Amino acid sequence: MIISRFLYSKWLKVQDTWNVFTDELKRIFRDPGVVVIFFVATLAYPVLYNFIYWKDNIGNVPVAVVDMSKSSESRAFLHKWNATPDITIKHYCTSMAEAEQLMRAQKIHGIIYFPSDFAECLNTGMKTAHISLFCDMSSFLYMKAVYLSCNRVMLEDMNRIQVDRYEAMGYDKQFSWQLVQAAPYTETALFCESGGYASFLIPAVLMLILHQTLLFGICMLGGTAREENKELFLLPGHKRGYSVLRIVFGRSAAYFLIYYALASVVLLGVPRLFGLPHIGDPTAILKFIVPYLLAVIFFSMSVSVFTRNRESGMVILISSSLIFLFIAGVSWPQQMLPDAWRYLSYAFPFTWGVHGFLHINTMGATLETTAREYTALWIMAGSYFLTTCGLLWGMGVLHDRDN
């Protein structure tokens, strides 16, 4: 008899959790806005970003030259620069005003300017020789091609000039090169061979898209619940006796079911479809995204408790996306961030998730060598789970007091 009652009570708890799970799925699919965020945005944004950086790198970018020096030194520099695959000199202008008109008309995407004293400063060494470079910032790809190609030629010329000056002082050529470059090196790109924005940025953006669409969608659901029924905000089954644990388990299971399928398609399919780095073990990636999704889900559910209306999620999305990308160390080295920002980044699942995913997917690491990020995500999932339960329990207590 006791065993029967125990089993029956357990079955009721499972049944309650199942009811919450199915109710949440119905809420998701009946809300057109959430469907767009969860499914359309999650699948469309990775494709859109890849089309923006489809070529990864741009070659033969048209540029203009304003050579007020008209010297053999400036012509030699331009000959080397034009020989690079990144740019093509299309126009030789007599003034900066003429070059600026070409830039405004989008006929060129870069301007290089040699002052009249360029050769004199270079040969006498009394003054620093200057070159001015102007880049079209309408696309980072234009800027990258123009700036990096010019920088490589400039560094090569600087080394040659230093060697010539050492030779003029009586040193032999080999020793002069040793003085200029004491430790010769060869630059090899290990995990981003193309050196392009797509290979570098898109894998990280994929994790951000999963994080932000989940956060936005769950906050939208929370805001809608509060707008429609403030008395039962986020606790639709409270009067029926559902416990907080059953509500959290049921809702998180609905989100996890949807996003595990979406994440598998995005993280495994998109890199292969667009030729992005994908040397990691797919099984390791599928295991890694389990704690990542759980941490993001419980983090989003905690935030959704404070959303006042349906539009609050959009405010959170717009205000946090670039911040997450920055403080996580994607667009800026994390080691160069102030300690306060770096420590703050550890509170968000995206920081640990993006580093772990890049280690496995782009660098070929195993789940064991990514144990730091993997363990941190499980800890975050547990911490935000307890936070969500505490917040919902507190709201349930307040609800009982009000009644």
- Express each pLDDT in 50-67 by its tens digit: 877 766 667 789 999 998
Tell me the chain's radius of gyration from C-alpha atoms: 29
Q: For residue 42, count CB atoms less than 10 angstroms from its CB and return exposed for 0-12, middle for 13-18, buried for 19 or more.
A: buried
Q: Give Cα separations from 88 to 101, 122, 222, 275 (angstroms).
A: 18, 25, 55, 27
Q: Is residue 63 a contact partner of residue 87, using CB atoms and an 8 Å limit?
A: yes
* CB neighbour list of residue 144: distance below 8 Å, 6 or more residues apart: 57, 58, 197
pLDDT at 283: 94
Which tens digit of pLDDT belongs to each residue from 110-168?
A: 999 998 888 887 777 667 788 889 988 877 778 888 888 888 888 887 777 777 777 67
Percent composition of the chain: helix, strand, coil (DSSP 3-state, to 5): 70, 5, 25
Cα angle: 202, vertex 204, 205; to 5 degrees: 60
**Residue position matching structure tokens 């405004």:** 104
Mean pLDDT score, 24-41 = 91
Average pLDDT, the chain: 82
pLDDT for the residue 240: 45
Phi, psi values for residue 133, rounded to 5° = -125, 130
- pLDDT of 202 reads 85
**What residues does 66 pair with on adjacent strands?**
93, 113
pLDDT on residue 381: 95
* Cross-sheet strand order for the sheet of 132-135: 87-93, 61-67, 110-114, 132-135
Distances (CA, A) of 277 to 53, 128, 147, 361: 14, 42, 25, 7
Residue 337 has what DSSP assignment? S
% of the chain residues with pLDDT over 70: 84
pLDDT tens profile 317-359: 777 888 888 888 887 778 888 888 889 999 999 999 999 999 9
Sign for the CA dihedral angle at 25, 29, 30, 31 comes to positive
- The pLDDT confidence band at residue 9, using thresholds 50, 70 and 90, is low
284: enclosing H helix or E strand: helix 282-304
User: Is the pLDDT confidence value at 288 over 80?
Assistant: yes
Residue ranges of domains in the chain:
16-53+194-402, 61-180
Q: What is the pLDDT of residue 160?
A: 77
Q: Is 132 helix (H, G, I), strand (E, B) or coil?
A: strand
**Residue 185 pLDDT grade (very low, low, confident, very high; cuts 50, 70, 90):** low
Start-end of H helices in 170-281: 173-180, 197-228, 244-264, 270-273
CA 16 – CA 22 distance, rounded (Å): 10
At the topology level of CATH, where does 61-180 sit? D-Maltodextrin-Binding Protein; domain 2 (3.40.190)
Q: What pLDDT score does 74 carry?
A: 87
123-132, 176-185, 191-200: which is most confident: 123-132
pTM for the complete prediction?
Answer: 0.78
Q: Are 267 and 357 in contact (CB under 8 A)?
A: yes
The two three-digit tokens of residue 8, written as one number = 């029956």
**Residue 17 pLDDT greater than 70, yes or no:** yes
- What average pLDDT does this structure show over 82-88? 88
Which pLDDT score is estimated for 398? 43
**Predicted local distance difference test score (pLDDT) of residue 3:** 54
Which pLDDT belongs to residue 125?
67
pLDDT-derived band at 311 (thresholds 50, 70, 90) equals confident
pLDDT band at 402 (very low <50, low <70, confident <90, very high): very low
Task: Provide the pLDDT for residue 354.
Answer: 93
Q: What band does 401 get if pLDDT is binned at 50, 70 and 90?
A: very low
Give CA angle at 391 (390, 392), nearest 5°: 95
Model pLDDT, residue 175: 67
At 221-269, the pLDDT tens digits run: 888 877 776 544 455 444 444 678 888 898 999 999 999 999 999 999 9
397 pLDDT higher than 60: no
Top mean pLDDT of 4-13, 193-202, 300-309 is at 300-309
> What pLDDT shows up at residue 183?
66
Residue 104 confidence (pLDDT) above 70: yes
**Would you state the pLDDT for residue 194?**
63
